[in-house]
Structures are given as structure tokens and as C-alpha cells.
Amino acid sequence: MTKVQAIIREERLDAVIERLVQIGVRGLTLMPAQGMGRTGGFAVFRGSPYRVDFVSKVLLEWYGPDDEADAVTRAIVLRGATGKIGDGKVFLQHVDEAVRIRTGERGLDAV
């Protein structure tokens, strides 16, 4: 089982979700996130740079079979990219086990 965690621009969220639904993904988790990366705390608004302590992003998580993780990652990168600094990152992690709280069911079926 794989966990795909992506930090993306808020304005790209609808396009990313649309693509994930098209490829049959269900069971996403979304959380608001703030961070600062390569931009060094600066943004440009109407042509003028200004200081930003943290930029608002969205943290998206998906858990599922290892053989679907590559398609999910490609979908996020394809639809999340603008070609500018600050597009975000995708992280993949192996998950050993999941437990469904309601039933106590364990394993891949619990996701």
C-alpha cells in the first residue's frame, strides 16, 4: 500500500481532483496548509514583489494499492503544474498496514 501526499497550489485543486476522479480515484483527504520554500517568502502581486511569511497551499493525501500510485502521482503533477516556482511537491511513502476503526478490519481493504 502507498501513501501519496501532495502539496499543491489552491487554484490548481479543482483541476487535480477532476483528473483524479477521471482515473477512478476515490477516498482523498484534503487539508489547508501554509509553507515557505524556494520563493524565500516573497510573492509578486500586480508586478510588485512583497514579503509573505507563508504561502497558502492545499495538502492532499491518497492511500491505495502500489500499482495505482504512479497513475495518481502523474495525475497530480500533470494537473497541478503551472511551470512556476511554488507548484508544490509530491511525496510517496510505503504503508505497512491500515485499520478501519468502525470494524477493526486490517490491510488494504481497510483503506
CA 39 to mean position of chain CA atoms: 19
Q: Which CATH class is domain 2-110?
A: alpha beta
Q: Among residues 76, 60, 61, which one has the least CA distance to residue 3?
A: 61
| % of the chain exceeding 70 in pLDDT | 95
Polymer length in residues for the chain: 111
- Domain boundaries of the chain, sorted by first residue: 2-110
The residue that leads in pLDDT, 110 or 39, is 110
| pLDDT in the model for residue 35 | 82
Binned at pLDDT 50, 70 and 90, residue 5 comes out as very high
Rounded distance, CA 37 to CA 71, Å? 26
Rounded distance, CA 107 to CA 109, Å? 6
Tell me the pLDDT tens digit for each residue of 71-105: 999 999 999 999 988 899 999 999 999 999 999 99
Mean pLDDT of the chain: 90
Q: Among residues 16, 29, 10, 4, which one has the least CA distance to residue 77?
A: 16
Residue 27: pLDDT above 80?
yes
Least confident range of 18-22, 56-60, 89-93, 105-109: 105-109
Pairing mode, strands 28-35 and 2-9: unpaired
